[in-house]
A and B are shown apart, each in its own frame.
Chain A
Amino acid sequence: MMNLADSAPVTNNLLGSEADSQRTLYPYVTGTSVIGIKYKDGILFAADMGGSYGSTLRYKSVERLKSVGKHSVIGASGEISDFQEIMRYLDELILYDNMWDDGNSVGPKEVHNYLTRVMYNRRNKFNPLWNSLVLGGIKNGQKYLGTVSMIGVNYVDDHVATGFGNHLARPILRDEWHENLTYEEGVKLLEKCMRVLLYRDRSAVNKLQIAKITDEGFTLSEPYSLKTFWDFNAFKNPTLGAEGSW
């Protein structure tokens, strides 16, 4: 059935792989925003548990926050299968690190930069891992929080987000984040951001988890929902004054 023309090796190596079916062209099952913030004792992450299949909110128990070794947490948005692949790479990285058994261990900075190399190299082969990742952690009291995109863009900050979170959550964080947030304050701030995302991001689902990492270790909350209020005046007659809309 396969055309001979398709199976002949492509001489144009700019695209890296032989046939198009071998490269990632578009994502299928995707997660939406992840938010991460530094707080007094470490890092807090929030992400919902939705896995969208295009416009369908198909999977509602997808864990998009995972721990990496003893010191780091990763949160992913984008293609879920690629996130699973990334987790395999990271589990292997941690395994070999542990096998040295020498008192040294990879911290969040090392994991972040390792991921950057992976993402950027895949991007250069035109076969990206279709994710935006948030990577944070704490080691020897030093807090670290950064992000990597599918094209290998890497930066660190006191608060980071992926996707819609950059547009809806970060302005809130720029106003309200400060260095000495307690755990309760941090969670409240994250919930405020997640609520906005729930209202305004169509791929958000109302079932989220909060992950925390401190020098004591990693915890991942049980999934829970946010209370929402739909009787805001702004939500009633939303198109009032918008000519031509309905």
Chain B
Amino acid sequence: MFRNQYDTDVTTWSPAGRLFQVEYAMEAVKQGSAAIGLRSKTHVVLASVNKASSELSSHQKKIFKVDDHIGVAIAGLTADGRVLSRYMRNECINYSYTYESPLPVGRLVVQLADKAQVCTQRSWKRPYGVGLLVGGLDESGAHLYYNCPSGNYFEYQAFAIGSRSQAAKTYLERKFESFMDSSREDLIKDALFALRETLQGEKMTSSICTISILGAGEAFHVLDQETVQRLINEFEVVGEEPPADDEAAAPDAEAAAPDAAEGAAPDQGAAPMDI
């Protein structure tokens, strides 16, 4: 993307019908370190790569518990992500207080999207520079959503965002059809494999990844380092490749099912929000 005369203001359209500020905000998401989400009928796993600015510092928190039944993983401007997480927690707790019932994740996601949209239509605001992978439960089961700075949201079987996320998406595209019926353990394993792809050869240890899970009957929580290291060791001992149907589950990577991992063609001239 190059600079042009229509990209100063979020409230300025380009002649091609694009809002460049919004697209630039989506670029910020691509610069953040990777975050991955996958879901089965009953569970959602969110995983992220921990980036620390130096060896001396702690890593940025990218996965947040929003409620017992909702968690979020972010990529991009983590400060924006924190603020949105606080908003989500507030909405959940207010709903719980009034109705003694958990806020359905689908409704929270729409509220979040509407909040993001406002920033694309006010001259005194800027879009949030963070992408959110929201995993949660509602009446119809487990769901995974991706919320964009543009104010769009999509539901996914599995998705990855942030830098080098394409490698993870390629892996997920091969395997996503089996996720719906995956067991909890297999889902976690697939998340780790997908995460490994984004590391591109870097040694995978529990200190650079964070895994979290939620499910029916299991409140959202982040797995502790020991458990994660043990899981990593397990599959490194067994061998390189993930088990079973690599070939069988890939009829056609293009003609993917409705919930396929998307975003494969970001800006080929088409405005990303049109996907």
Contact = CB atoms under 8 A, between A and B. Distances in A.
B99 to A, nearest CB: 4
12 contacts: A100-B107, A102-B104, A102-B106, A103-B106, A103-B140, A104-B104, A104-B107, A104-B140, A105-B139, A107-B101, A109-B100, A112-B100
A110 interface: yes
A117 B95 CA distance: 12
Interface in B71-124: 97-101, 104, 106-107, 110
A189 interface: no
Interface in A94-121: 100, 102-107, 109-110, 112-114, 117
B98 A113 contact: yes
B27 interface: no
Contacts of A107: 101
Interface in A4-24: none
Given A100-B107, A103-B138, A109-B99, 7 more contacts: A102-B104, A103-B139, A104-B104, A104-B107, A104-B139, A110-B101, A113-B100
B104 A114 contact: no
Interface residues of B, number: 12
Contacts of A102: 104, 106-107
Contacts of B99: 106, 109-110, 113-114
A110 B140 contact: no
A102 to B, nearest CB: 5
Interface string B17-41: 0000000000000000000000000
A113 B101 contact: yes
Nearest to B101: A110
A102 B99 CA distance: 18
B100 A110 contact: yes
A117 B138 CA distance: 23
B107 A117 contact: no
Contacts of A140: 139
Interface in A47-77: none
A100 B100 CA distance: 19
Nearest to A111: B99
A94 to B, nearest CB: 13
Contacts of B138: 103-104
A105 B139 CA distance: 9
Contacts of B98: 113-114, 117
B208 to A, nearest CB: 37
Interface string B230-267: 00000000000000000000000000000000000000
A117 B139 CA distance: 23
A112 B100 CA distance: 9
A171 B99 CA distance: 31
A106 B107 CA distance: 13
From B98, B99, B100, residue with most partner A Cβ within 10 Å: B99
A83 to B, nearest CB: 21
B138 to A, nearest CB: 6
